[in-house]
Amino acid sequence: MTLISTAALVIGLAGGADVTGQAEWLAGDHHVHSRFSATYKPDPADPDAPPVPTLGGDGPHTIIQNGEAAGRYGLAWMVSTDHGGPRHSVMNYELAYPELLESRRTTPGVIQFYGMEFDTPGSEHSSLIIPMHDGEREMLRRIEASYGTREPWPANPARDTRAVMLEALREMDGMSPRPVVIANHPSRSATGVGVWGEHDAGSLRDWHDAAPRVIIGMEGAPGHQATSLKPDGERGIYRRSPTMGGFDQMTATVGGVWDALLGEGRRWWITATSDSHRHWSEGGDDFWPGEYSKTYVKATRDPDAILEGLRAGRVFVVTGDLISELDVTASSGGRTVASGETLVGSGEPVNVTIRLRDPAGANAGGRTPEVKRIDLIVGEVTGPAKDRTADGNPTARVAQRFTPSDWSREGEVLTVRWQMPAPLGPVYLRVRGTSGDELEPAADPAGEDPWSDLWFYSNPLFVEPR
């Protein structure tokens, strides 16, 4: 197979889509597995040799099938993220990358990034997204070969430490272009509410301090949401500490870990993914990319613009296609900012506008959900926490709840306007909404219908007095 340059492929990425240079909400998924997430067995002929990989062992789909599904379910971008085993960097380099190039040709309307689910030193998994450029293939091999915890043979426990992860992040921060890292399913290893596992508030702070231009946030809503289509299945395979409305407790708890990080002024964003391995119709736990969860980025249809939008927090997330657009803006003193941005206050009240699109058509589950409520959440920014493990922000609160009587409707577009008194100190604002009646997202019971419990979340904007 002849490998052509990434630059040449980018020329045709739009594939007939509107390429006007105008920023729009582009749906995507940064956590998708293929047959190159192999399983490994000892070599019966040589027990001292590296284990033998079995392609498709942890999911049967090709990268091409994933790309086609992403296009079918309305995604504009996707990241191929297989995880590893001994010498997995070689498999990625020699086998997965050529198939990714073929998928880019097969489904040119979906911008498909190269990456992996990083076997993170000293912690849980994370999504590693490689910017699209001619050196992408070598960049991923270098990172995985140097830092992936399952890469060495014989195994090297000394590589699996939090200090090594900080070293990896600092090296990535020095790369050009810089990769993007997002913490995956942050509370899947938690053993209770606020009883953290491999990801905790302290480790996330350490990561962000080491490379804030690389590590940008965490999965707010994990994948594996189709698990609960089974009678005893837990959404997200969160077996020890459940999701809440399909979202990780770090995100879903007002005043929890996400608010703790935002309350320090950190630009820490959330996403939502499929974590697709095997589709539920095949006996698996997953939806196809874009079938249930979407991460929307405000950007032009350009690979670099999409990654820049992710880094800048121009992002909202949604399950079940409850909404397809969400613009949250704050205005004061003649200036207006949106999600990810900072409004320098004028001493005047702040006018908040929430504009969203509630699509009239059916989603992939055959439902036509409607937004029943929108919540505006406000928290104070008080600076770095004295306790690095602090996992709460007591100032975070639902400042206002909006129901249909509070918004105007023009076709599919709902608009809410609200005025906030001029804040006395720095604050952040974020928005969530739901198709249900719960005032706060409750712990999801096993076997819950995921299509009946839908939420969306914006990323925050910040307001700072002069």
| Full pLDDT tens readout for the chain, 466 residues | 334 445 444 434 443 344 458 999 999 999 999 999 999 999 999 989 999 999 999 999 999 999 999 999 999 999 999 999 999 999 999 999 999 999 999 999 999 999 999 999 999 999 999 999 999 999 999 999 999 999 999 999 999 999 999 999 999 999 999 999 999 999 999 999 999 999 999 999 999 999 999 999 999 999 999 999 999 999 999 999 999 999 999 999 999 999 999 999 999 999 999 999 999 999 999 999 999 999 999 999 999 999 999 999 999 999 999 999 999 999 999 999 999 999 997 889 999 999 999 999 999 999 999 999 999 999 999 999 999 999 999 999 999 999 999 999 999 999 999 999 999 999 999 999 999 999 999 999 999 999 999 999 999 999 999 8
Fold of 20-464: TIM Barrel (3.20.20)
Measure the CA dihedral 16/19/20/24, to 10°.
Answer: 120
pTM over 0.75: yes
CA distances from 352 to 274, 288, 322 (A): 31, 35, 22
Separation between Cα atoms, residue 329 and residue 314, nearest integer Å: 11
What are the tokens at 270? 């959330």
Separation between Cα atoms, residue 58 and residue 35, nearest integer Å: 7
Q: Classify burial at 8, counting beta carbons within 10 Å of its beta carbon; exposed 0-12, middle 13-18, buried 19 or more.
A: exposed
